Amino acid sequence: MLGGVDVENVGDKPWSLTGRPRVRLFSNHGDPLPVHFLDMLGSVGASSRTRVILRSQVVRGAFVPLDWSNWCGGSGPVVVKLGLAESVVEVRPEDEGFSGRPRCDQPSAESTLSIGRFQMPS
């Protein structure tokens, strides 16, 4: 299931985002979901860096693409935690028009979440 997270700077000064954020998925009760994390360009440790300058008060100033596949777990609400430099932002997808979870294609295989790099929205 391909999608992503928009990032907005609500502060007064611009700041930069570099590389790939830390993204984790949790149940509505705070339990981590058993998901294997990958970098969209290959392995999680890939060293390619992208820098986006996030101007102040710009809606959809940056975007992080996500691709979640093969979810065979529960159907309860999901919380996405996005690590930005020194802080963590919590996104509750049900409030953002989230359409659900990926289908279960292979019950014996792990669920994966591919995480892209910060980019300018298109």
pLDDT score of 8: 82
pLDDT score of 40: 81
pLDDT score of 46: 45
pLDDT score of 43: 42
The series of mean pLDDT values per 10 residues for the chain, 122 residues long, is 80 82 87 90 52 78 88 84 73 57 91 88 73
Domain ranges of the chain: 2-115
pLDDT score of 12: 86
> H/E/C letters for each residue in the chain?
CEEEEEECECCCCCEEEECCCEEEEEECCCCECCEEEEECCECCCCCCCCEEEECECCCCCEEEEEEEECCCCCCCCEEEEEEECCEEEEECHHHHCCCCCCCCCCCCCCEEEEECCCECCC
